[in-house]
Amino acid sequence: MSDNMKGAILMICSMAAFTFNDACIKLMNADMPLFQLLLLRGLLTTFCIWIMARSMGAIRLNLPRRDWGRIALRTISEIGAAYFFITALRNLPLANVMAVLQMLPLTVTLGGLLFYREPVGWRRLSAIGVGFAGMLLIVRPGPEGFDIYALYALAAVVCVTARDLATRRMSPVVPSMTVTLAASVGITLFAAIATLGETWVPVTTRDAALLVGAAVFIIGGYLFSVLVMRVGEVSFVAPFRYTGLLWGLLLGFVIFGDWPDSLTLLGAAIIVITGIFTILRGDRQRRA
């Protein structure tokens, strides 16, 4: 099997793992307060990531101060993304949230232009504009189809964009697992403080199984996402991240009985097409 095919399979597995994690979280929607859920999942996830990172020898603390600043910024962004994303997930259909998240390649490209002065040609800028139009078809900021929790999904996109931009400027000496462990610890500590204002509920056997499943899937997603960066060409592998939307549509229909309306599907298709164009065009410019 070629490196490109290995990379594509790893990317598909990564998107599947993250989406199955989301489904587990959504299945616990009415059973557990938000921050109790985040804390319990965070404890399981942090412990497993720490074991993996230690076995790989990937925990490194003697890093430059600048890199620690970027890790801190990335962790804060990860905390915001977890809060906004899970809040949106608990109140919106799974596929709708996943469709909004497909904006990430477009927002990261735009952020690179605004904050790092990265060159972005008029074609990619046009694609970004069209992609934002597709996003409006999903969010529908009008008196009729608008849902306030769509703003939470958009806020999650902003936080993940900030996270990815901070990651771009880290030096190569920073191990990926150290960054992942820092983010998991940050989310867990944030949830632990936030639970002081919540009333805990007993954890049923069903919820315990879903929590373990969520932890396993999110760890698998992290692991696959690290491995995918080591094989294949970006221009070939990156578009397969959009299989996350297909997983969202499938799980949303099979598990929750949700299916997006035609405008949402049209908006998602526009975002996917413009995102793939932006990825391929950016890779072509880097090669040139």
Query: Is the pLDDT confidence value at 116 over 80?
Result: yes
Angle made by CA atoms 274, 277, 282, in degrees to the nearest 5: 125
Amino acid occupying residue 277: F
Q: Which residues, at least 6 apart from 206, have a Cβ–Cβ distance to it below 8 Å?
A: 31
pLDDT at 283: 79
Cα 158 to Cα 136: distance, rounded to the nearest angstrom: 15
Task: Give percent of the chain with pLDDT exceeding 70.
Answer: 98
Give the three-state DSSP class for 58. coil
Q: What is the mean pLDDT of the chain?
A: 90
Rounded CA-CA distance 13/136 in Å is 29
31-85 tens-digit pLDDT: 899 999 999 999 999 999 999 899 989 899 999 999 999 999 999 999 999 999 9
What is the rounded distance in angstroms from the CA atom of residue 34 to the CA atom of residue 29? 8
DSSP code of residue 142: S
- Cα–Cα distance, 108 to 238 (Å, whole number): 13
For the chain, the domains span 3-287
pTM, entire model: 0.90
Q: Where are any strands of DSSP class E within 102-249?
A: none
Cα–Cα distance for residue pair 138/156, rounded to 1 Å: 15
Residue pair 43/185 in contact (Cβ under 8 Å)? The answer is no
Rounded Cα–Cα distance for residues 161 and 128 (Å): 14
- For residue 143, pLDDT beyond 60: no
Torsions phi, psi of 147, nearest 5?
-125, 130
Write the DSSP assignment of 220-253 as a string of letters. Answer: HHHHHHHHHTTSS-HHHHGGGGGHHHHHHHHHHH
* Residue 116 burial (CB count, 10 A): 10
* 159 token code pair: 């936080």
172-204 pLDDT per residue, tens: 888 888 999 999 999 999 999 999 999 999 999
Do 140 and 146 form a contact (C-beta atoms < 8 A)?
yes
- Using the predicted structure, report yes or no on whether residue 144 has a pLDDT greater than 60: no
